[in-house]
Structure 1
């Protein structure tokens, strides 16, 4: 299966722009305006927070975004741990400008979805994504998942996507399949102590953990010469702290201990596997390099020097390659 290397030049993110005064004025102006017309034209089901939600078969409200022309080919994005659909804003705006319909949801217990106690596993993650896709009647869609979201995509496509023709292609970006944990059958995986450390961090001081991870290994900001973007770190913290500590704690088991070898083998649609070779969160040797060998129609792209969060730090390169694959 072909592998291509990409240049390692760093994408420069835009500087932060202050809009507090403008936003406050707009809020004050709109406070007294009637909302009847908005409610009358809103096409999707609404949740208890008056934002678009779909309710799953087990009664969980899942928040989603749905932008762009309804007749266009849909692209559905699946976020990583412990973030939300907001982590895909750069990609969603890019593909919206290319004429696609873009959809993303907050995983149960994450972002604006319900903070339920149970169901934080790959089967429920995939079923929740299917609830969104079914509600919006997404067909011929491209499903793109990052990190834990890549595991969600693999389970979704294998179990929900292919027989009904709902999935055209799939992309696994810095994704966890086939298995992260070191086991007798996976001897080069990461030891359980690594994931126990994450669990301890969530339980003891989640707020500090959610600063330490993006400040260091997630975006490669701990590498010599790296350009550090404080806004990116703060946005990661913001997304994480919106979610449930219980969901984040249980989710560590889901992304580290779920063997998705059979999911990968069951996927028949064209699948692009994208991974940076300096990924300090999901090492490439035990993820992408193995995952592509199990796919029936897989293509691997390796990015020299790119970190786990390359969707943000190298968005121009990643977006270009995603577009080429989607259109190809």
Structure 2
């Protein structure tokens, strides 16, 4: 397997296919780089070099006990980029991966990054605080932790067959293979990493990271995202970024990269080429 060992001894698995301008994909919680199959194959066949890694504690990377926070996530991504000597790279982050990509570009990406894409991404801050009154109450995330600890397997079935892909909406048919693949990826990772990762994606404030980013950034979000509500994520991030383009998808869910892959891939390709 392709992998690197970070400074704190964590083994990070990655995929690296093709040649050309590199596109680096950052996956969501609690998934793995496999969640990017539809994008990696598409862009590989369009002449790009495609790279994706499994976050620490997720997929095929080490199930370490510590470091499950955005600073470590971004540092791990930087270690992969440095190992592969990636330059002029486009970074694409979904959900929690959008937070990871944002912190990576802001703190580690100088001289290496050409563009950034945030898809259904968690920045600037998901949790409700005095300074972020529109965020979700911490009790929402407490509920996620309780469900994970009680029966992680069932929790992942319920999340993927319901709000993640919008399968709980009237008239929307559940695609069982998509649910099964989400569950498979989730169960490959470590329960501790996923439990601690909830705090990382919900309570990390990316405001200053967004302000520091000066590369062209495409912000993509579904307006029926039940996981990361658009009003307190994409709409705010687009205002904080220096060079943002906001694209809102009417009626699309959080997992739109999978269930609407054809349309999103076309839009990503247009942005990459612009």
TM-score (norm. length: structure 2):
0.99
1:123 to 51, 71, 96: 71
Specify every segment of 5 or more residues in structure 2 that has no aligned partner in the other structure, as ranges.
Answer: none
Counterpart CA distance in 1 for 2:173 and 2:39 is: 21
TM-superposed CA distance for 1:202, in Å, is 1.1
Specify every segment of 5 or more residues in structure 1 that has no aligned partner in the other structure, as ranges.
Answer: 1-50
> Which residue matches 2:144?
198
Find runs of 4+ consecutive structure 1 residues off by over 6 angstroms.
none
| Matches for 1:299-318 after TM superposition, within 5 Å | 299-318=245-264
Counterpart CA distance in 2 for 1:92 and 1:75 is: 9
Q: Does 1:233 align with 2:182?
A: no
2:61 to 107, 113, 121: 113
> Which residue matches 1:17?
none
> Which residue matches 1:89?
37
Deviations 1:171-230, CA, capped at 9 Å, x for gaps: 000000000001111111000111000000111100000000000000000001112110
TM-superposed CA distance for 1:277, in Å, is 0.1
> Which residue matches 2:11?
61
Alignment root-mean-square deviation, CA: 0.4
Counterpart CA distance in 2 for 1:320 and 1:187 is: 36
Deviations 1:25-75, CA, capped at 9 Å, x for gaps: xxxxxxxxxxxxxxxxxxxxxxxxxx1101111110000000002xx1000
SS of corresponding position for 2:116: strand
How many equivalent residue pairs? Answer: 274
| Matches for 1:108-257 after TM superposition, within 5 Å | 108-162=56-110, 165-257=111-203
1:298 to 203, 224, 244: 244
Counterpart CA distance in 2 for 1:227 and 1:167 is: 39
TM-superposed CA distance for 1:98, in Å, is 0.2
SS of corresponding position for 2:238: helix
Deviations 1:146-190, CA, capped at 9 Å, x for gaps: 00000001000000002xx11000000000000000111111100
